[in-house]
Amino acid sequence: MSFEVDPPESDPQRTPSGNLEDGQTIFETTRLQEPVAQADGDKTPSVPPAQMSFLHPTSLIFDFLAHAKTYIVPALIGLFYGATEGQGFLLIISAVIIIPTLLHSIFSYFTLRYCISDNQLIVREGIFNRNIRTVPLARIQNIDSVQNPLHRLFKVAEVKIETASGTKPEAVLRVLSVDKMNSLRSAIFESPAHLESNNPTGESPAMEDGQSLPSANVPPNIPENLLKIPLSWLFKAGLASNRGMVLVSISLGIFFQFTNDKFNFSVKGIADLIRSSVDSTEVTETPQSPLVVFGLSLLAILTVLALIRLLGVGWYVLRFYGYQLQRNGNDLRISCGLWTKVSASIPVQRIQFISIHRSLLMRWWGMAAIRIETAGGDSSQNENSTESISKRWFIPVIAEDRVAVIMQSLRPDLFWDETNFDFKTVSPKTTQRLIRISCIQSAMLGLIGLPISLAWGWIPGALLLPIFLLYAFKKGRSMQYARGSNEVVYRSGIFYRKTSITFFDKIQTLHVNQSPFDRRWGMATLCVDTAAAGPAGHRMQIAYLDEHFANDEFKRLRINAAGREPVFG
């Protein structure tokens, strides 16, 4: 099953390129025949309805579930109790909630159609308010797909098509069959328009001295396997993460939300339960020694911590099981997931920012994680969304000895070796400034505690002062900055270390900030921004730099960024 996309000079009466098993057309490549003039003088193509394709029939189910997921459970409960208990008003309320959503899904299925024509993806929907969207194939950057267990049961997937122009998908096709999805991906990424836009010259990028870099292009139909994450890596990543704590918090919230009033799980209720159990104990029993009580308490704490870590392992396995990273031409393709399978495509030239994350345990085990930021990314995406696989969780865990190879794949002109960069630390006055802040924080804690207890209120501030001072000393030494031949590198963090890289041709804005306190200490903050939205969680804002050094670097980066052409993989 395949598609053919008409080049600009093709015959306008070309026949359909692909057919379903029952003879239905998958995509029509017939040239659009009814141009409609727009206000700006351009022409919007129009395709006869018979030449456009419907979504998969199960779209009715998935569209309904997608729109009704916030209230489907209470609505079903209302239908159940209304039918069994004879509560008519519950049936009416549930019907009022469900029926409009069901009608919306039915109309959406019968009105949404799509096709490929004139090197454009065309999506038409609506009856009264008809909406026609045209997306040039050359502008399409990502084609992401999501498959939960219900999708896999019907052999379908939800497909999202993105460009670099915005933070939302240009089109959401809910749902397509797996065969149609694969054909759509091939038709777009292997179309002449898309290949030409990604590599307009057909040559390898050049270095500053005129030498050509080795081409990273791979024939589109021969994917190159870059990385497969084994289960042992996911196990280590789960143990090193705090995802289990998040799951415990969510579980407790759900538990308390759905617990009825006869179970009082408030702090007062727990205290009353403990007091009643103590009062009911016979006085003739031998009291436990303090050492036994301490041991049991320690065992309980360690059990809870172990459970939290195991939950973190479970989260990583469910999310990233079977992770595979491939390169197909100039596109990176990710697939992973045990419960919900996610597939994402990332054009190499769209990568704006690369960040390497290493927690304390990850460093001990020789592991790291790589996150990226892409043009047009959505900063509102949270860590639990499936769309964040290709952004926030690009490579969830990787061995340190594989990092350099992956970095070379992401950026062919980057020969990554962190030890070769000439890192500059922040201003020598930083430690002194942070120590003063630590002393002020300790004094404020003491002042807060004194009204509570004149004799002991000052103790928390005094005990925390050494920790504050150590943190101030370590923080000043952890922030480092380096400028390479074509990149800017910034690393920071004490326990959780992050090293981020961006490139001269990706820099969008540069500015230097100075607060009144910065001017007092002769410091400044150098900010380097790209077109990305920031899901990597490490903004390149280098604070506490010496004022003269920050201004000099600002001038050098401005010159370097002004005359650079984008370097594509």
C-alpha dihedral, 254 to 257 to 261 to 267, nearest 10°: 80
Residue 269, in any domain of the structure: no
Encode burial over 5-39: b for 16+ CB neighbours within 10 A, e otherwise.
Answer: bbeeeeeeeeebbbeeeeeebbbbbbbbeeeeeee
Return the structure tokens found at 369. 């994680």
Residue 209, in any domain of the structure: no
Residue 449, in any domain of the structure: yes
Cis status of the peptide bond prior to 175, with omega within 30 of 0: yes
Task: Indicate yes or no: pTM above 0.75.
Answer: no
Residue 267, in any domain of the structure: no
Answer for the pair 344, 390: CB distance below 8 angstroms, yes or no: yes
Q: What is the pLDDT of residue 517?
A: 92
Q: Which residues in the chain show pLDDT less than 50?
A: 1-42, 201-219, 260-268, 270-271, 273-274, 278, 281-284, 378-385, 565-569
Q: What is the pLDDT of residue 212?
A: 38
Q: What is the pLDDT of residue 381?
A: 42
Q: What is the pLDDT of residue 23?
A: 38
Residue 522, in any domain of the structure: yes
DSSP 8-state assignment for residue 145: E
Q: Which residue range(s) make up the domain with 450?
A: 424-562
Return the structure tokens found at 67. 């729109």
- For the residues of 307-375, what is the DSSP string, one character each? HHHHHHHHHHHHHHTT-EEEEETTEEEEEE-SSSEEEEEEEGGGEEEEEEEE-HHHHHTTEEEEEEEET
- As a residue count, the chain comes to 569
Report the 10 Å Cβ neighbour count for 147: 24
Residue written as tokens 């009466």? 13
| CA dist 464 → 195, 459, 477 (Å) | 59, 9, 20
Contacts 24+ apart (CB under 8 A), 525-529: 525/550, 526/481, 526/550, 526/553, 526/554, 528/488, 528/490, 528/502, 528/557
Question: Strands of 120-125's sheet, edge to edge?
Answer: 53-54, 113-117, 120-125, 131-136
Nearest CA to 14 among 120, 115, 117, 134?
117
Whichever domain contains 431, its CATH number is 2.30.29
The angle, 0 to 180 degrees and rounded to 10, between the axes of the packed helices 430-449 and 459-478 is 160
Q: What is the pLDDT of residue 395?
A: 93
Instruction: Please give the backbone phi and psi of residue 416, each rounded to the nearest 5 degrees, phi first.
Output: -80, 120
Answer for the pair 441, 414: CB distance below 8 angstroms, yes or no: no
Q: What is the pLDDT of residue 263?
A: 47
What is the per-residue pLDDT across 4-38, written as a single tens digit (0 to 9) for each?
434 444 343 333 333 333 333 333 333 333 333 33
- Count of the separate structural domains present in the chain: 1
Residue 159, in any domain of the structure: no
What is the per-residue pLDDT across 335-375, written as a single tens digit (0 to 9) for each?
898 888 888 888 888 888 899 999 999 999 999 999 988 77
Q: What is the pLDDT of residue 550?
A: 93
Q: Which amino acid is at 552?
A: D
Cβ neighbourhood burial of 370 (10 Å; 0-12, 13-18, 19+): buried
Distance CA 445, CA 455 (A): 14
Residue 291, in any domain of the structure: no
Q: What is the pLDDT of residue 373?
A: 85
Residue written as tokens 């390149």? 540
Q: What is the pLDDT of residue 146?
A: 86
Distance CA 142, CA 391 (A): 12
Residue 282, in any domain of the structure: no
Answer for the pair 438, 461: CB distance below 8 angstroms, yes or no: no
Distance CA 206, CA 564 (A): 11
- For the residues of 158-201, what is the DSSP string, one character each? EEEEEETT-SS-SEEEEEEEHHHHHHHHHHHHTSHHHHHHHSSS
Report the 10 Å Cβ neighbour count for 74: 12
Q: What is the pLDDT of residue 247?
A: 62
| CA dist 254 → 68, 186, 247, 251, 273 (Å) | 20, 43, 11, 5, 22
Largest Cα span, the chain: 99
Nearest CA to 335 among 293, 381, 389, 292?
389
Residue written as tokens 């002449």? 192
Dihedral sign (CA 390, 392, 397, 402)? positive
